[in-house]
Amino acid sequence: MFADLNREHYGVETYLPMRNWAAERGMIKRALDEYGAELLHEAFTQIFREYRPNEQYPILTAGFAISYRLNTVMPRLLADRQRQERAKQTPDNSGMTAEELAEWL
């Protein structure tokens, strides 16, 4: 995924992991276990939108994203999810007619 996104966003053909392949796979596995694939994919998409490459760091690695960016993006995503869940659980009085609602108020 990161190789494809780096190619798409930054035009970089060669992807190299932050430390080594085994370390990066371990980081990804731990993040997947903690947050799940859907939420992690959403976080990585957000991180790619926010990341600005520079001469010293021309690509975004999974290791960097997990180690240094996930802790800023994930709280926002989790808060959004909680708001969405609360909105679903809040009754919207859609079963009432306008007259019933007016009387109730």
Q: What's the Cα-to-Cα distance from 6 to each of 14, 17, 24, 34, 38, rounded to whole Å? A: 9, 12, 16, 24, 20
Q: Give this prediction's pTM.
A: 0.76
Q: What's the Cα-to-Cα distance from 103 to each of 25, 39, 96, 100, rounded to whole Å? A: 61, 43, 10, 5
pLDDT at position 89:
80
CB atoms inside a 10 Å sphere around CB 90: 8
pLDDT at position 92:
58
Per-residue confidence in pLDDT tens, the chain, 105 aa: 899 999 999 998 889 998 899 999 999 999 999 999 999 999 999 999 999 999 999 999 999 999 999 999 999 999 999 998 888 886 655 566 667 767 766
Query: Which of 39, 102, 87 has the alpha carbon at shortest distance from 66?
Result: 39
